[in-house]
Amino acid sequence: PNSPGCDLIGRVVACGSLASRYGIKVGDRVVSLRIDLGGCARYVELMVHNLIKVNKTVNADKAVCLVRSYMVAYRSLYRVGDKVLKKGDKVFVTGANGCVGRAIIELALLGGAAVVFGASDRRHHKMLSEMGASPLDADCENWLTDVYRGMDIVIDTVGSVEAAREAVKWKTGKLVCVGLTQFLDDEDSSPEFSCMPISALLATSKSSWFMSQTVFLDLFGDMERLIDEYRKDM
């Protein structure tokens, strides 16, 4: 049967002989991500180097939010691309009402951003305003005029890659693409390859290789390659 869930937290019940090299032992409380789902299962098998220890004083729900939503937000603002968030910067995030979008707003304001614009459906605008963001309409045809070439950091969580790039300041700003929900939620999307719409794969390739001042943040790939950096940031 299918078991959903890619965010997971629990205790180590068994481990191999090499686990001690990574400071992991039976009984440790750990958090991790599982790209092929299964996080909601009672028992999950993971590579030991992908585990991050979590203090027992941290609530499980907060720890899981940290390892994905807030790590995406933090890395987008501070780790990837040539631009690092600084006091007075202008930040724009699409899909601002989502869990990653809200984490970005929170961390950007804590980091001293002068203004954080958030694009979302109008029914979420009150919530975004209460968080301290400046809400914009979800349709890129409506929000682009407000942010055109004026943003220091743009974080696209929905896949509006080309429009989001137009919001970036020339030479000094950056666009970080972290999501493709507009392609994954579209029932009339293009044919699939490896369970992904081809349109989503094209958007990923474009943002990764063919657009200046732009980077695609692959959370799972980054966590695999840069686990020590993740542990430090956590």
- How far is residue 186's CA from residue 195's CA, in Å, rounded to a whole number? 14
| Confidence band, pLDDT 50/70/90 cuts, at residue 181 | low
- 67: how many CB neighbours lie within 10 A of its CB? 22
Q: List the structure tokens of 149.
A: 């070439």
The residue written with tokens 């027992």 in the block is 56
Q: What is the mean pLDDT of the chain?
A: 86
Whether pLDDT at 185 is above 80: no
| 163-174: pLDDT as tens digits | 999 999 999 999
- Greater model confidence, 130 or 230: 130
- How far is residue 26's CA from residue 132's CA, in Å, rounded to a whole number? 43
- Name the β-bridge partners of 8: 32
- How far is residue 190's CA from residue 193's CA, in Å, rounded to a whole number? 10
- How far is residue 110's CA from residue 231's CA, in Å, rounded to a whole number? 21
- How far is residue 191's CA from residue 207's CA, in Å, rounded to a whole number? 20
| 47-67: pLDDT as tens digits | 888 888 998 899 998 888 888
What percentage of the chain exceeds 70 in pLDDT? Answer: 85
Q: What is the pTM of this model?
A: 0.85
What percentage of the chain exceeds 90 in pLDDT? Answer: 53
